[in-house]
Amino acid sequence: MSNSDQNPSSTPDPYGAPQDPAAGQAPQAPQYGVPAPGAPQAPQYGAPQAPAPQGYGAAAPATDPGKTLGIVGLVLSILGCTSLIGLILSIVALSKSKKAGYKNGIALAGIIVGAVLLVASIIGGIIFLTAGGALVNDLLETCQNVPSGETVVWQGETVTCP
């Protein structure tokens, strides 16, 4: 008797899996996510949800999010006229880095340099305005007794009085 003459349910499985004699086939392995026949079904609400992403990037960023902003803040802090903007950007960069769990020395340097140069700019501006005010007062005192439109020599310069 050949194998083709035999009943398929009585043919042994070469892999050793038991066969279902009623169906004439080997039983299927259970599939994950598919309920077994006759098992109670969980209620479905709304659209099916996609599984949560696994792997890299979801929990923590791969790079420091405040690094580039810290560099920009430091550069702007060094420039005298933009030290306030650089100081603010450096503070934001340091805050972003801390929230992500990184240390950002560049942003810290931008904060220090920006603060020092901002204070120096304020002090320099006050000195400049005070000295300029004193010069204007001295010029006005010199021209006080001179008629308008006359020229006088003031600190080695010829000046027309207002």
- 150 pLDDT tier (thresholds 50, 70, 90): confident
pTM of the model: 0.52
Return the higher-pLDDT residue of 118 and 138.
Answer: 118
* CA–CA distance, 54 with 14 (Å, rounded to integer): 38
Q: What's residue 145's pLDDT?
A: 77
| pLDDT tens, position by position, 16-44 | 555 555 556 666 666 666 666 666 666 66
| pLDDT tens, position by position, 45-80 | 655 565 555 555 555 556 888 889 999 999 999 987
Q: What's residue 158's pLDDT?
A: 83
Closest CA to 67 of 42, 45, 40, 98: 98
- 120 pLDDT tier (thresholds 50, 70, 90): very high
Token pair, residue 107, equals 């942003």
What is the residue extent of each domain of the chain? Answer: 67-160
